[in-house]
Amino acid sequence: MATLAPAHSVPGVTTPHARWTPVRHLGPNWYASVMGTAIVATAGATLPVDVPGLRTACTFVWALSFAMLLTLLAARTLHWTHHRDQARAHLADPAMAPFYGCLSMALLAVGGGTLLVGRDWIGTPAAVAVDAVLFAAGTAVGLAAAVAVPYLMVARHRIEAASPVWLLPVVAPMVSAALGPLLLPHVPEGQARTTLLLACYAMFGISLLATLVMLPLVFGRLVTGAPLPLALTPTLFLVLGPLGQSTTAANKFADAAPGLLPAPYTAGFSAFAVLYGVPVTGFALLWLALAGALVLRARRQGMGFSMTFWAFTFPVGTCVTGAEGLAQHTGLAAFRWLAVGLYVLLLAAWLFAGFRTVRGLLSGALLAAPGAPRPVTARTR
């Protein structure tokens, strides 16, 4: 009876794909590091306080996020080319498949940063071109993920309990909704501008309603089910993503509506930005406190570093941009200082996650194979 055994290695001869072994376990969750870096730049660039040198620092951070995106896209291409079996295993894994939404958000976040701060270095025409490409690609990937991942959850995955990572594919259209208005001044006047604005508003609805479906399942699991595994506890911060990003989007719609829509709708968007954004920001702060308490509890129980720590960055960053928009539309100093306080928290989380990630890469720990085989998580029929 034949058995499968590894081929004997021959000195001086490289086995097929051996040189690409380091990327075998590089999953789509790594795009969270790009998102978390880009949001540091975009949130800092629009912070409602004057800090000398902040914009220059944000431009450096944007450049870093751009380099990270290009590097990760190349590495993930190698992953799909040389380790297709592992790539398919990621899609079949309900714990990993939702992270495909991160690809969309990484493209969108870097694109938005290009137009906000990258133009200082590369010029506005080039920045518009780069953002247009990344926005189109990110939106297409995000809408596909918003359908494909829930489909896999229903048709293929065998799921035991709800997880905050379920929000990742459905929040991607909200990122498109929040960043699309940046391109409006560079789109031809008339039907094209209005269509883009209302398309962003439609994606706002897609993401918001999908979040309202999934969020009760996540909270219900926390209250009635087993606690999250320690390594997944930071993913509780993912709930902040749709909250902060939807508040940001509502404020961007209010900024963009004048001149594009008739007066009643312009006034409606301005009122909606405050009437929606204030209570949602209040709930985001409540969730921030709850998630923070549970993370501290997990830390006391021995939670170590993993890539889930990047959940402390992008979701908090969206709350910064949401508070910035509310500060602009209400004129209240409270929102201005809330944005500053959250940005300090974002910066601390980014520095910590970035340092530990670099250390894990240098040691090889973050790219190592899992310690034990994962159980089968996909239906076979």
Residue 96: inside a domain? yes
Residue 12: inside a domain? no
Residue 52: inside a domain? yes
Residue 371: inside a domain? no
Residue 105: inside a domain? yes
Domain that holds residue 353: 22-363
For the domain that residue 123 is a member of, what is the CATH number?
Answer: 1.50.10.150
pTM of the model: 0.90
Digitized pLDDT (tens) for each residue of the chain, 381 residues in all: 333 333 333 444 344 455 667 788 888 999 999 999 999 999 999 999 989 999 999 999 999 999 999 999 999 999 898 888 888 888 888 888 999 999 999 999 999 999 999 999 999 999 999 999 999 999 999 999 999 999 998 998 888 788 999 999 999 999 999 999 999 999 999 899 999 999 999 999 999 999 999 999 999 999 998 788 999 999 999 999 999 999 999 999 999 999 899 889 999 999 999 999 999 999 999 999 999 999 999 999 999 999 999 999 999 999 999 999 999 999 999 999 999 999 999 999 999 999 999 999 998 888 887 654 443 344 433
Residue 14: inside a domain? no
Domain count, the chain: 1
Residue 299: inside a domain? yes
Residue 373: inside a domain? no
Contact 141, 103 (CB under 8 A): yes
